[in-house]
Amino acid sequence: MRIAVVGSGYVGLVAGACFAELGHEVIVVDNDAAKVAALKSGETPIHEKFLPELLARHGGRSLSFTEDLAEAVRQSVAIFIAVGTPPTDDGEADLSYVESVARSIASCIDSYKVVVEKSTVPVYTSDWIRKIMLLNGAPAELFDVASNPEFLREGTAVTDFLYPDRIVLGADTERCAEVLRTAYAPLVSGEYYKCVNAVPRPDNSRSLPQLIRTSAKSAELIKHASNAFLAMKISFINAVASICESVGADVQQVCEGIGSDSRIGPRFLSPGVGYGGSCFPKDLTAFRAVARDCGYEFRLLDEVIRINESQRLRFLRKVRKALWTLKGKRLAVLGLAFKGGTDDIRESPAVSILTSLLREGCEIVTYDPAAMDRAAEVLNGSVTYAKSAYEAANRADALLILTDWEEFSALDLDRVHAALRYPIVIDGRNLYDPEQMADHGLIYYSVGRPDVAPRTRVQRPTLNAA
């Protein structure tokens, strides 16, 4: 099957590479000439597991890159729109890029096409795309508009695409639905999973994805409602963590108790410094704007957003509790990305907290396995970047953990203790067991759990002059 993907951002690039992995002929279109040239030369612009391998495997063969949208449309049966939908000042999604692409597609349709919303868009967008295309001369019988929302998590986007829980096909005609079924047939049938060189199956994935056929409007709502619900789970458990701190309970034990209920489940019950990234903040404000336009005040979303913002302030209070005054303090900050496994710093709680600490007069030394280059573009030389977590910790007054990278959960705690000026760790991701930290002589603050004092004092190693 011939597929065009318009937009080579996070969603578009992952979708294009994965459709090629499924055996389709894929053309990824972008109007950024420099980006297209970099992709053609084999560069991977984002940090995403397995993506470099897929680009190397299929690039120049079943996966190509171009600036020529018209030619890509003429060659393809399905055109997936994966351009940005940034928030406007009032929280609504800016659909100008989607509209521009729809106009361009309309002008070059010469045979039946399925135009697919892959970007996260408000309900009714499919109707507007159809109207715009008709107004720009596209024959009504030569196209359908569908919604095929993505459910990709940064850091695991490739495996999320290839091993999904469900595939939602929002198609209003059977002809349109059949084109989408063909696109995903290797996953639904299980044929892809028999391939020797298939991307490894992640733990706890479904044996076969569930295929859900809906109307286009229902599919549009499924995406926004899904992200809103997941953000609500995060804010809910963070609110519970605040109560746990007040009464001396352990939020991890509470999570285990409520997460074992099959109606609730353990996923996204992770107390910390709050959600961030390019999806949840934007999608919640957009969904709230959609509800408002429909005459419904979705106050629950207001509270989800408020709790998330307050969680960052609560963490700053923990830092003050541990250090009293902040001006002049040297702090080691581990993590800049909004979550582990990605270099994305958009709406990152870590960057927000770090910026607040700089305003307090702190000296910051930071380390992140992937996001330091992107952060440097935003922070403008106001922090020092270390080559490792241990280098960041050297002579710091405290160590702050702000991103849940796997390597941060496996630090040599004796080495951390020896590096720090004071043995203080403030963990915004609950990566460590408090008793373990106490055993290693560390003063440990976390989220929703009692603070612990060191039970033993670990001796600092004596450096060998040789």
Residues that are catalytic: 279
Residue type, 446: S
Cβ-count burial 381-406 (b if 16+ within 10 Å, e if not): eebebbeebbebbeebbbbbbbbbbe
CA atoms within 13 A on the CB side of 426: 24
**Dist CA 346 CA 314 (whole Å):** 21
Place of tokens 């998330």: 308
H helix intervals, 91-156 = 96-106, 125-135
Backbone angles phi, psi at 248, to 5 degrees: 85, 20
Q: Measuring CA to CA, how many Å separate 308 from each of 4, 232, 284, 347?
A: 37, 9, 12, 12
The helix/strand/coil state of 116 is strand
Identify whether the C-beta of residue 312 lies closer than 8 Å to the C-beta of residue 352.
Answer: yes
Nearest alpha carbon to residue 81 among 33, 125, 115, 104: 115
Cβ-count burial 277-291 (b if 16+ within 10 Å, e if not): bbbbbbbbbbbbbbb
**Dist CA 227 CA 276 (whole Å):** 12
